[in-house]
Amino acid sequence: MKVYSAAVFVAAVTSSEAADLSIKDLRRAKTKVPGTSFKGSSFAHSSSKLNKALERSSAAPMLVGCADLSVDQLQETMAALIETRTTALSEVYELTSDARALRHSGLKGYQEEWAVLSRAATSPDLSRAAHDMMCHEAVMLYVHHQTAQQQAALALEGKIMLPKLPVGERLFNKFTPNTTMMPEARFVVDAYLKSTGCAACHTDQDGLKPDTPSPTDAPRWPPAAEPVIPWRWSADLGGWMDMGGKRTNFSGSFHYDYALNRLKEHWVVANMGMEIINYWFGAPSPDAEQAKDLPKGAKRGHIYQVMTMGGNVLSCKDDTYPTFSIVRPDSFIKQWHNDASNLHYVARENMADEDMGGAKGWADHWTYADSCGNFSLWVGLDSGLPVYTRGPTGCNSGNAGNSYLNHTLAPPPDALFQFNFSVCKPRNTSASIHKALWGSPNEAMQELLVV
């Protein structure tokens, strides 16, 4: 079977997306949980079941064992599948932070990664990982980024070889990052683990066990999943902060926009008639952004804190953090790769039993400890969304808890980020910031009390 170049193949099979994208294709893309026919009790079991599903599908004539294909052949297959993907399907995964989303924006990004992998895979284990990850991604690209009509056309053309999934347990399953690992080896390991990330959805039991046994009445399903928040969402805020042993309650709203690298926190301290609003414009800016796209006076790499009382602006402080983006959606689980010993899945907890700022129901409690204290995140079982955070308000000082209620999974409107930031006064220039998740109004409250 001859493998054609991606450019030639694209010209042969690309057709109008409007014509071949069906309602069934979109429904499948929006379905987050695979059916039982596509799930196994372990990584190896799920790979075996998925291979059998491929053998029953239109892909059967193209299938070749993963080990029987060279790296060059796998890259040729991936290139063709990336170039012919249906963008409407890809956008579904990107907008919902789905594990099926492309890891790079296009073929060029993958080619750059392949070049690094070819240099970095200097041992048999690393070479196997660099090879096998391409089998996993090729199958994912075929199944989830091609319409049913495209899949049938691929089989009819017969010009690519589609790998089966490798048989066996996931490599580096017990991997713990360490400082002695060479950067090149770490690159291969990270790429492999990301490429096989879909395994969590296709495995019935993902092996995540809490430090503390769950209560007997805790739900057994769904099993705990690694915490990653959506890229664009808003929620109502509720919570409290402790300043010198005195508690202050607050309400408000929270708006997170990773795609545009901006975040807004709006706290209302009703008993003081005060509002504190943080606007965080992270750096760098989105590629297509121009200076005129930002609100008046706003700059990237700045956090602006506006304080009002009785509807009047009391102050606007400008803190400079020139190299910081807003908090990543995978900030918590990323610590597992950077510092696994300090990230813990603590427990499955009933939030009604705790003082959670209005959050109710069952949630999985995660905590990360660094030199500035313990930062905790609770993920609701009914939504998979962040429902509560708790942590110090400064480095090893203070304490605050935020609840996130009534989530809206949509891009926060531009109108929410409008203010005349040219009136803000410089307060801080820093190369570091201690925010594991988000902030609290504690600092502004302290300044007000001093005044």
pLDDT in tens, 418-446: 999 999 999 865 544 444 445 555 555 45
257 vs 175, residue with greater confidence: 257
- What's the confidence (pLDDT) of residue 15? 43
Is a pLDDT exceeding 50 seen at residue 104? Answer: yes
CA distances from 184 to 74, 126, 129, 298, 307 (A): 21, 10, 13, 39, 47
Domain ranges of the chain: 6-202, 232-450
Is a pLDDT exceeding 80 seen at residue 93? Answer: yes
Q: Residue 208: what residue type?
A: L
Is a pLDDT exceeding 50 seen at residue 322? Answer: yes
Is a pLDDT exceeding 80 seen at residue 176? Answer: no
Q: Percent of the chain beyond pLDDT 70?
A: 84
- What's the confidence (pLDDT) of residue 53? 92
- What's the confidence (pLDDT) of residue 435? 46
Half-sphere exposure at residue 198, Cβ-oriented, CA atoms within 13 angstroms? 27
Nearest to 305 by CA among 261, 271, 274, 273: 274
Is a pLDDT exceeding 80 seen at residue 188? Answer: yes
Q: For 197-225, what is the mean pLDDT?
A: 78
- What's the confidence (pLDDT) of residue 343? 76
Is a pLDDT exceeding 60 seen at residue 450? Answer: no
CATH domain 232-450 topology? outer membrane lipoprotein receptor (LolB), chain A (2.50.20)
Q: For 7-29, what is the mean pLDDT?
A: 64
- What's the confidence (pLDDT) of residue 398? 74
Is a pLDDT exceeding 80 seen at residue 125? Answer: yes
Residue range 141-155, pLDDT digits in tens:
999 999 999 999 999
At 233, list the tokens. 């969402």
Is a pLDDT exceeding 70 seen at residue 341? Answer: no
Please report which confidence band the pLDDT of residue 9 belongs to, taking 50, 70 and 90 as the band edges. Answer: very low
Alpha-carbon distance of 351 to 231, in angstroms, equals: 25
- What's the confidence (pLDDT) of residue 178? 52
Q: For 12-21, what is the mean pLDDT?
A: 52
Nearest to 300 by CA among 308, 312, 289, 314: 289
- What's the confidence (pLDDT) of residue 211? 82
